[in-house]
Every structure is written in C-alpha cells, then in structure tokens.
Structure 1
Amino acid sequence: MHPTQPSTSQMNRREAIASIAAIYAALTLGRTAQAKPAAEKAPMTITCFIRYQIDPFQREGFKKYAENWRHIIPRCGGHLVGYFLPHEGTNDIAWGLIAFSNLAAYETYRTRLKADPQARENLAMAHDMRLILREERNFVEVVDGTFNLPSTFAGST
C-alpha cells in the first residue's frame, strides 16, 4: 500500500461513501438498457450503503448470503442495487446497496424484513457462520443532474 493512501481501516466515512458512490454510479450505467421506464418505477431518493467487514476466509459464504437477498429485498420493498465483494486490494470489505423512495419506505421495508422467514433464516446463517465481523450503514441521496450520466468519451475502447 502506498504510504499516502489510507488503509480501509483508516478510511473516514466521507472517503468510503465517495468510493462506493463512484462504484454505484459506474455499475448502474450498464443497467440502463434493462431499467424500467421512469413512469413505471418510484423515484429513488435515498440509498442505504452497507459496509461489511467480512471474514476473508468466508468469502464464498458471504457470496451465498448476498445472493440470498436478491429475492428477499425486492419482496420486502427495497430496490436492490447490488452486493459487491472485494476484488482487488483489501480482501475483507464488501458492500451492499439498497435504494428507497424515502425514509418511510425504508422503515416499512425494515418491518417487512423482520417478519420475513427467509430474511430471518439468511441472517441466522450469516451469524452462525460468523461471515460478518462488522457492519456500518449510511444513507445518501443523489445530487440531481449528476447520476447515471453516459460517458461522452469519443475514443475507441
């Protein structure tokens, strides 16, 4: 690691949120062709960024945990943007991104999630396997006019 770059454990919240926001924006660019027309979906005003410190030796277990949410989260009212495992660099930090139209929608989602048998089962599995060492949640909102902009680069790729 370069001495002027903070390690993930030294990264402050602002740096962490900026990093994941950049990842989020980059990854959603590829989904625009699959997205529903704007009239069919509620506007996404807040996103819950979940930062996980995972056991790096339990990567496959965490992957299964994340995959299990793909049906549970939408059923309970969240817009699952995605889960992200470490690829290069730090091997024990993963992210989950879930969007909501507002904080009231998030609270409704949390209530439904607590009552969902598959959600409880998935959380119990993660607990029993000790997949997650630490979890942080931050809520962010999109700055109008800055999200999901296409590249204007004219060169070849």
Structure 2
Amino acid sequence: MTVTVFIRYQIDPFKRDAFERYAQNWLGIIPACGGDLLGYWMPHEGTNTIAFGLISFASLADYEAYRARLRADAAGARNFAMAEEQRFILSEERTFLRQVEPAA
C-alpha cells in the first residue's frame, strides 16, 4: 500500500517568493533522500496563504527511513534552516493518505 504525505502549509503572503525557493530546493532533495515527490503547489488565485506538497512512499517504514536520511542531508538541513530564519511558513500540517482502491 502506497502512503502519500499531504503537507498543507500556511505561508506569509508577503514572502511567497521565499517559500517558492524553499519548495524548488525540495524538488531535488526529496527524491535524493528516497521520497517519490508528486510536487509542490503555490497559491495562484484566491487564497494567497496556502501551499501544498505531496510525497509518496511504499510504506510508513519507508517514510521513517526517508526522514532519517533527510535529517542527515546537508542540503535538507540548509533548506530547513532557511525556512526557520526567514519565517515564511506560519504553520505546517501533515496528513498521511492512502489511495482508495476499487472494490473486489
């Protein structure tokens, strides 16, 4: 069963460019650390404070191994530090989803 991590970010609307750089950095880091990155989405029209990221894993165990690799990754550490220093993320929520399969 594939598990997809759905990340909902509340971002500072005046720092959208900083969040976009942060998301762009993850485009290379996440796959290198073992995540199947489905992508990041930025506000375009309407609400300008909500962004999303989706990453899939074969299992929760694979997710936990990925998190360990991410914590040890120098580029990942720099990206986390940039977010903390610039404070463009106001809140972050993670939901773990599984895809609904057709009935047998």
**Is TM > 0.5 for Structure 1 vs Structure 2?**
yes
TM-score tier after normalising by the smaller chain length:
over 0.9
Among candidates 11, 14, 19, match of residue 57 of structure 1: 14
2:89: which partner in 1?
132
Indicate the SS of the match to 1:64.
helix
Structure 1 residue identity aligned to 2:25: N
Task: Using CA pairs under 8 Å that are at least 6 residues apart, name the structure with larger relative contact order, 1 or 2.
Answer: 2
TM value normalised by structure 2? 0.95
Aligned equivalents of 2:85, 2:38: Cα separation in 1: 26
Q: Deviations over 1:58-95 (max 9, x none)?
A: 11110000000011101111000000001121110000
Among candidates 43, 51, 65, match of residue 108 of structure 1: 65
Runs of 4+ in 1 over 2 A off after TM superposition: none
Aligned equivalents of 2:101, 2:44: Cα separation in 1: 30
Unaligned runs of 5+ in 1: 1-43, 146-157
Unaligned runs of 5+ in 2: none
Greater Rg over alpha carbons, structure: 1
1:4: which partner in 2?
none
Structure 2 residue identity aligned to 1:128: E
Structure 2 residue identity aligned to 1:100: F
Matches within 5 A, 1:5-154: 45-145=2-102
Indicate the SS of the match to 2:46.
coil
More strand by share: 2
Aligned equivalents of 2:5, 2:56: Cα separation in 1: 6
Indicate the SS of the match to 1:114.
helix
Cα distance, 1:125 vs. partner? 0.5
TM value normalised by structure 1? 0.63
State the aligned residue count: 102
